[in-house]
Amino acid sequence: MVFKQKLTKIGNSIGVIFPKEIRDLLGIDLGSEVYIQPGLDEKTLIVNVKEPTSKVDPQFFELVKKVTQQYSNALRELSKK
């Protein structure tokens, strides 16, 4: 189920209108709290009804990102072997 929504001005902010089908599916309504975070590709939004939990320290992800960027050529060559 995919819905294309436009961003809407809400006061000094912008927001996304959640269609009824999505609200019903997630069990959310006016006043519900949701947690929004960027996806790994930084072009996707992840919306969670419950607070996301991770057993991995967020600093670990930052370290992996830095190492991957720093050694991208070496990792690319290793992947060919």
- pLDDT value at residue 58: 78
The predicted pLDDT at position 52 comes to 66
Structural domain that includes position 41: 7-79
Q: Could you tell me if 23 and 29 are in contact, meaning their C-beta atoms sit under 8 angstroms apart? A: yes
CATH number at residue 35: 2.10.260
Extract the residue ranges of the chain whose pLDDT is less than 50: none
For residue 51, give both structure tokens: 């607070």
Residue 1 lies in a domain: no
Instruction: Assess if residue 2 is contained within a domain.
Output: no
| pLDDT score for 59 | 85
What's the token pair of residue 11?
A: 């006061």
| Tokens standing for residue 25 | 């599916």
Query: Is 27 inside any structural domain?
Result: yes
pTM above 0.75, yes or no: no
Domain-located, residue 30: yes
Residue 51 lies in a domain: yes
CA distance 1 to 57: 32
**Domain total of the chain:** 1
